[in-house]
Structure 1
Amino acid sequence: MSMMFHPSTNLAIGDPYSQPFAVKPSPQSARAFFDSLILSASGWRGVFGASDEDTSEALGPDRLYAAARMADVFAARLLERTDAGPKPMVALGLDTRHSGPAIADVMQRVFLAKGLGVRYAYMLAAPEIMAWARRSGGLPLEHPDRLSAFCYISASHNPVGHNGVKFGYTDGGVIPGEEAALLIKRLSDGACAAEDIERLAALTASVAPNELAAAFASCSLNKRKALSDYTLFTREVAGASAHLDEQERALDELAAAARAHELGIVAEMNGSARSLSLDADFLTGLGARVRLINARPRDFAHRIVPEGESLDQCKAELTSARRGDPGYLFGYVPDCDGDRGNIVAWDEHEGKARALEAQESFALAVLAELAELERRRLLSGRSAERVAVVANDATSMRIDYIAKAFGATVFRVETGEANVVGLARALRERGWTVRILGEGSNGGVITHPAAVRDPINTLIALLKLVFLRDKDGVPGPYRLWLRNTGREAAYADDFCLADVITSLPPFATTSVFEERAALKVGCRDHTALKLGYGKEFLRGWPKLSAALAPDFGRLSWSASASLGMEERELGQDFGAAGAGGLKISLRDEKNDPVAFLWMRGSGTEPVFRVMADVRGGDKRHEELLLSAHSAWVRAADLAQ
């Protein structure tokens, strides 16, 4: 054994002299694990450990085979896309799960054996590797630091025993939906055959130990390059400009405001990849004081998904910090790969720390970035632009009201980051300005030019909203919001975040991370399930509409499907939604939106997700809608 260890964390990287397929899986065991994988545009995931919460570092041969096949398919595609010139170079990284290094070991062997170059950075956040690929991918073809693609090992917010992989090229995001579908087909075709297992075992064994050892030894160098590119890119996103002088002016204005408020932020890392990223340095550079908690990799203090009780420690730490220092206003908790981070904030009205709901955070970020776009336009004297917001189909309608106040248009797509990013890019090509996009249902804020969620960008949006004031006769973001909605008389210069939240359009919305939002269904045919749901809906609609009539009057409904980057009206053929999102929209007699019901099978977990969204903020309406909606799904499932 010649195990190599990471110099700064002292965690195992791998043994270049070991053979991952010293014991090969049988075709039957390989197939059993392969069929348990969830393959979607959001990534390829499975339970690589022995259970959901398994923290062992060694993996069985069936798991290693699946990882090798994933690498083999992506390597072949990358070679296929590469014209004559230097060999393709792949950035390889992972989050802090215990099974990550073993997966990286076997994937790296496949990449090297197929003739690719590998830049292995070990543990880093998902936005970090994507920024690295984006910036280094733009270098000249012959530049030694140029990258062609990235491979990131993570299962995002899933439990610690899960793992998976995300692939991308150099546009700063994961591969688009069509490319993902192609790779999934190639991954599945011929998988688990005895000859394929033998082929991949031989391929991994063909890599010389010294070549692998050199790749392992370069982790720190590659991490430094990744962190440098990520820092530069985060400045570009935060400053809303590619020009350094404009970045500096924007960041200086925000930093001065943060220092004036003596801002403090609690960063509860939960042992995630962000514990090794730029967070503390970048936020300190913006004038904030940062209190780091659970900031060692694998220092998992609670569930990985940053929802519900997983935010309790951050709330307690923020409360504790404020006892001695009232400047502490925010906290955040990232998931394991660090692309998502839910926000905790001090509520000045209630006098306590509370977690912002995912939909609430997204609405605030949309408000912040649209208001800041208008503020910058007014300061510069530029004419108005066509502005759009792109969100997933499960995002609350409150963003439509916010967008309307700034003359922006909301476009919706099927749930999945690749769909959101894909439509935003298509709209920009058609002349639209799309600064803010994401998945409101899970708190996924993406700020252009980023193409992936990032809690740092969410925090920066909130800081702009809370701290920036009038400048050169132009109102600050919050004042602009009140002015555009006819409420400027309510503005006070000493406003706080709670005042901003109170000003948001009131909606009651199901959190997709609540237990009642995740239904276990037996029917695997989503078309048949939705057809059955349609029959139940038509039977139950008169009773539901009568129950809502005292508060909303007579309601009408329409059904639509979200399929990739398209939204499509359905009439009564609910089955046409297939595996995409199905939404039932309710409108009043003025044709104003009142509520929607939404359903879709998860692309990352074995559940069927449902939710309701209703204007007015009355939780009783949301509960009534969701109860009927869930009952119809269950009835349709039983009928199959």
Structure 2
Amino acid sequence: MVNSDRVPSLDFHYSPSVEDLTTALSGFILSASGWRKVFASEGENSTASSVASCDQALACLMAEVFSSFLKDHRGQAFRLVLGRDSRPTGPILADRILRVLIADGWDVVDLGVVAVPEMLAWVQAENSLGAFIYVSASHNPPGHNGVKFGLEDGSVLGGPLAQLLIENFRNVAKQPERVKAAYQKALSISETRLDKIRSGVIAAHKKSRQAYLSLTKAILSPSSLRLLTTSLKKARPGLLAELNGSARATSVDQAYLEGLGVKVRALNTVPGQFVHAIIPEGQSLDLCRQELEKAHTEDPAFVLGYVPDCDGDRGNVVWFNEQSCRAEVLASQEVFALCVVSELAGLVFDRHLTYDEDGYPHERVAVVCNDPTSLRVDRIASAFGAQVFRAEVGEANVVGLARRLRQEGWTVRILGEGSNGGNITYPGTVRDPLSTLGSLLKLLWLKGTPERPGLFALWLQRTGQPSPPANFSLVDVMASLPRFQTTGVSEERALLHIRSQNHGQLKAAYEKRFLNTEWKQKSSWLKERFGIVTWEEINYEGTEERRGFGPPFRSGKESGGFKLVWKDQTGKPVGFTWMRGSGTEPVFRVMVDIEGTDPDREKELLAWHTEILKAVD
């Protein structure tokens, strides 16, 4: 059974050495998005479950550090939730973490394999649950694993608290006696005590599923839910769920979607049985695309499909294009743009966003996204009178910025990492494919009436486009979006392996070459080819956006996002070049976003951007 795995016993004689810890920590990536490394003994692509004793000891230490952090900052008058995704090393790591938490006196609820949005929905809804640990490496290969930490608000720990936790771990992780002490705590817990907690997995899962169903319905909004369900039960569209053995296979997806009136075909629903790479991009979407074409041939109602990552907080979308008569992948940036249209139009539909007689909004509405999100979203937001705010890459950064804006009086209905896929729709606190699918279903099937136009009709009104045909499809919606050409962040050409270990020095060298050489040589080409006449530099660190040129506008390790925004003769941004070292993978990412329909322009800008980086590396 997935949620009652027996794991190998701890080695009573193991004692970590400095050499063991140095080796084990060498590939450990610690960031607000999660702590990750290759835990599988047989390598990153292994589907074996074995974990070296030193890595088991580090799992014990991670639990102890978080336990101490909670006691110092929150006390211990609440229950703590433990869950995991479906990768093979999950059971043994969760077992070691659970043992230490019990030894530290925590009342722990173990959910076993659970989609992270489901677990966080329960944490958010249940007052007695004050913190969580989720064992996962998100979209990384199956041999990777790690942890995400969070508190009672149901979002992943971010900002200064996340950095404090990281520093607490770093301060003790190379001390054999501290690691051994955590390991000894795990050894002190009997199987009988573990079995008592594990016996409650099924009952706990029932509660988490109910909380998740309630939240997903609340995200649609009561009026939208009622009208959308009526429309969907009449239209009966079909959706293909290719779950790839992810944690979503244990969740509410099929029940929720069928409850709305959607026909669902679910594939690869056994947790842990991966049929392709975990990351839901590129070739990993081919199976869904092929199966959607088959389903559409059998029943033309099947027009959408999705593939989640292993922890189930990210799902990329496939659609059937009636013009090409083929199933195609929706790029991550396009998915987010569609969801922004849907949710902003939804605010107008529900009368939470209203306008004066001159068309100016009465309410302050914001969209929050990460720094490499396409300017397409700015064009969409502007049409509704909303403002876009950006944070550094990392879901915790985006969520933190949205939280701050709400405290300042802004309405933030939708946020997310537009470059990476998925969206967070309030009151949700984490990316969720069901939120994404809900936004798309509303946009396509909440069609309204002549007195109360539907979401797509509202978008067309705000942008001065003709009214939609009666039986419009996603083809029509896609054609109405602002046109931008954008580098996919997982494309091979967007991933650079650089020699420089100091990102601040690399950025300073880039700035120097750009200002002293490249801008002087290329300004005529940029104006003639792209209409670019000026530029602005922006640096992103956490939730902060700093506009200005040079190192004075960066701080710390200077490892945040770096962007040159390109502007036309009116000062309007028409594109950008961007770069950032990954916090979860050993790569340096680069990308370009440029307005227009010509893909060659994006390729030319990216080639130039890459050449500068290589020249100064």
TM bucket (normalised to shorter chain) is over 0.9
Question: What's the offset of the Cα at 1:97?
Answer: 0.3
- Give the letter for the 1:482 counterpart: L
Structure 2: segments with no counterpart, 5+ residues: none
Specify the alignment match of 1:422 in structure 2.
400
The answer to whether structure 1 residue 409 and structure 2 residue 387 are counterparts is yes
Specify the alignment match of 1:358 in structure 2.
332
Specify the alignment match of 1:615 in structure 2.
595
Question: What's the offset of the Cα at 1:635?
Answer: 1.8
Q: Distance in 2 between matches of 1:307 and 1:540?
A: 34
Specify the alignment match of 1:120 in structure 2.
110
* Partner residue of 1:174 out of 152, 156, 166: 156
Specify the alignment match of 1:513 in structure 2.
490
Q: Distance in 2 between matches of 1:14 and 1:465?
A: 46
Q: Distance in 1 between matches of 2:582 and 2:531?
A: 34
* Partner residue of 1:484 out of 462, 472, 478: 462
Tell whether the 8 Å contact from 1:574 to 1:582 is kept in structure 2 after alignment: no
After superposing the two structures, state which structure 1 stretch, 455-464 or 230-239, moved more.
Answer: 230-239
Structure 1: segments with no counterpart, 5+ residues: 1-5, 139-145, 240-246
- Give the letter for the 1:224 counterpart: K
Specify the alignment match of 1:208 in structure 2.
190
Tell whether the 8 Å contact from 1:89 to 1:119 is kept in structure 2 after alignment: yes
TM-score normalised over the length of structure 2: 0.96
- Give the letter for the 1:322 counterpart: H
- Give the letter for the 2:5 counterpart: A
Identity of aligned residues (%): 44
The answer to whether structure 1 residue 526 and structure 2 residue 526 are counterparts is no
Tell whether the 8 Å contact from 1:311 to 1:333 is kept in structure 2 after alignment: yes
CA distance 1:631–1:575, change in 2 (3 Å): farther
* Partner residue of 2:606 out of 616, 621, 626: 626
CA distance 1:212–1:10, change in 2 (3 Å): closer
The answer to whether structure 1 residue 605 and structure 2 residue 585 are counterparts is yes
The answer to whether structure 1 residue 304 and structure 2 residue 297 are counterparts is no
Question: What's the offset of the Cα at 1:617?
Answer: 2.6
Q: Distance in 2 between matches of 1:471 and 1:172?
A: 37
Q: Distance in 2 between matches of 1:314 and 1:132?
A: 30
CA distance 1:481–1:21, change in 2 (3 Å): farther
Q: Output one character per residue of 1:171-213: Cα deviation in whole Å (capped at 9) or x when no partner.
A: 1210122111000000000223221133122211222331112
- Give the letter for the 2:100 counterpart: V
TM-score normalised over the length of structure 1: 0.92
Q: Output one character per residue of 1:35-75: Cα deviation in whole Å (capped at 9) or x when no partner.
A: 31000010000011131111111210121121111111100
SS of the counterpart of 2:134? Answer: strand
Question: What's the offset of the Cα at 1:11?
Answer: 6.2
The answer to whether structure 1 residue 233 and structure 2 residue 226 are counterparts is no
Q: Output one character per residue of 1:410-433: Cα deviation in whole Å (capped at 9) or x when no partner.
A: 011111111111111111111111
CA distance 1:628–1:380, change in 2 (3 Å): closer
SS of the counterpart of 1:295? Answer: coil
Q: Distance in 2 between matches of 1:486 and 1:495?
A: 17
What root-mean-square deviation, in Å, do the aligned CA atoms of Structure 1 and Structure 2 show?
1.8
* Partner residue of 2:542 out of 552, 555, 564: 564
- Give the letter for the 1:237 counterpart: I
Q: Distance in 2 between matches of 1:117 and 1:553?
A: 61
Specify the alignment match of 1:436 in structure 2.
414
Specify the alignment match of 2:83 in structure 1.
93
Q: Distance in 2 between matches of 1:379 and 1:104?
A: 45
* Partner residue of 2:255 out of 281, 288, 293: 281
- Give the letter for the 2:162 counterpart: A
CA distance 1:48–1:550, change in 2 (3 Å): same
Q: Distance in 2 between matches of 1:594 and 1:338?
A: 34
- Give the letter for the 1:261 counterpart: A
SS of the counterpart of 1:410? Answer: strand
Q: Distance in 2 between matches of 1:490 and 1:154?
A: 45
* Partner residue of 1:452 out of 421, 430, 452: 430
Question: What's the offset of the Cα at 1:349?
Answer: 2.0
Specify the alignment match of 1:588 in structure 2.
568
Specify the alignment match of 1:243 in structure 2.
none
The answer to whether structure 1 residue 111 and structure 2 residue 101 are counterparts is yes
Question: What's the offset of the Cα at 1:252?
Answer: 2.5
Q: Distance in 1 between matches of 2:317 and 2:13?
A: 46
Q: Output one character per residue of 1:379-402: Cα deviation in whole Å (capped at 9) or x when no partner.
A: 999983111000100000000000
After superposing the two structures, state which structure 1 stretch, 229-238 or 534-543, moved more.
Answer: 534-543
SS of the counterpart of 2:412? Answer: coil
Runs of 4+ in 1 over 6 A off after TM superposition: 378-383
Q: Distance in 2 between matches of 1:69 and 1:33?
A: 13
* Partner residue of 1:45 out of 6, 11, 36: 36
Tell whether the 8 Å contact from 2:3 to 2:113 is kept in structure 1 after alignment: no
Q: Distance in 1 between matches of 2:21 and 2:287?
A: 40
Q: Output one character per residue of 1:501-534: Cα deviation in whole Å (capped at 9) or x when no partner.
A: 0110000000001011111112111101111111
Q: Distance in 2 between matches of 1:457 and 1:401?
A: 22
SS of the counterpart of 1:203? Answer: helix
Q: Distance in 2 between matches of 1:399 and 1:315?
A: 26
Question: What's the offset of the Cα at 1:494?
Answer: 1.5
After superposing the two structures, state which structure 1 stretch, 214-223 or 167-176, moved more.
Answer: 214-223
Q: Distance in 2 between matches of 1:332 and 1:602?
A: 26
SS of the counterpart of 1:302? Answer: coil
Specify the alignment match of 2:200 in structure 1.
218
- Give the letter for the 1:589 counterpart: Q
Question: What's the offset of the Cα at 1:148?
Answer: 1.3
Question: What's the offset of the Cα at 1:443?
Answer: 1.0
SS of the counterpart of 1:185? Answer: helix
* Partner residue of 1:341 out of 315, 337, 340: 315
The answer to whether structure 1 residue 376 and structure 2 residue 356 are counterparts is no
CA distance 1:259–1:543, change in 2 (3 Å): farther
Q: Output one character per residue of 1:120-150: Cα deviation in whole Å (capped at 9) or x when no partner.
A: 01000010111111111x3xxxxxxx21111
Specify the alignment match of 2:14 in structure 1.
23
* Partner residue of 2:141 out of 159, 172, 180: 159
Tell whether the 8 Å contact from 2:244 to 2:278 is kept in structure 1 after alignment: yes
Specify the alignment match of 1:12 in structure 2.
5
- Give the letter for the 1:635 counterpart: A
Question: What's the offset of the Cα at 1:232?
Answer: 1.3
Specify the alignment match of 1:186 in structure 2.
168
SS of the counterpart of 1:115? Answer: coil
Tell whether the 8 Å contact from 1:507 to 1:617 is kept in structure 2 after alignment: yes
SS of the counterpart of 1:303? Answer: coil
Q: Distance in 2 between matches of 1:520 and 1:477?
A: 43
* Partner residue of 1:553 out of 531, 536, 539: 531
Q: Distance in 1 between matches of 2:531 and 2:176?
A: 64
Tell whether the 8 Å contact from 1:531 to 1:575 is kept in structure 2 after alignment: no
Q: Output one character per residue of 1:197-250: Cα deviation in whole Å (capped at 9) or x when no partner.
A: 3312221122233111212222212212211211111111122xxxxxxx2x43
Specify the alignment match of 1:141 in structure 2.
none
5 Å-filtered alignment, 1:252-331, equals 252-331=226-305
The answer to whether structure 1 residue 471 and structure 2 residue 449 are counterparts is yes
Tell whether the 8 Å contact from 1:79 to 1:88 is kept in structure 2 after alignment: no
After superposing the two structures, state which structure 1 stretch, 533-542 or 371-380, moved more.
Answer: 371-380
Tell whether the 8 Å contact from 2:3 to 2:201 is kept in structure 1 after alignment: no
Specify the alignment match of 2:52 in structure 1.
60
Tell whether the 8 Å contact from 2:292 to 2:327 is kept in structure 1 after alignment: yes
Tell whether the 8 Å contact from 1:341 to 1:455 is kept in structure 2 after alignment: yes
Tell whether the 8 Å contact from 1:377 to 1:384 is kept in structure 2 after alignment: no
* Partner residue of 2:341 out of 367, 370, 386: 367
Q: Distance in 2 between matches of 1:543 and 1:215?
A: 67
- Give the letter for the 1:510 counterpart: T
CA distance 1:618–1:258, change in 2 (3 Å): same
- Give the letter for the 1:59 counterpart: V
Q: Distance in 2 between matches of 1:103 and 1:147?
A: 21
Q: Output one character per residue of 1:305-341: Cα deviation in whole Å (capped at 9) or x when no partner.
A: 0001100110111100111211111000000000000
Tell whether the 8 Å contact from 1:534 to 1:574 is kept in structure 2 after alignment: no
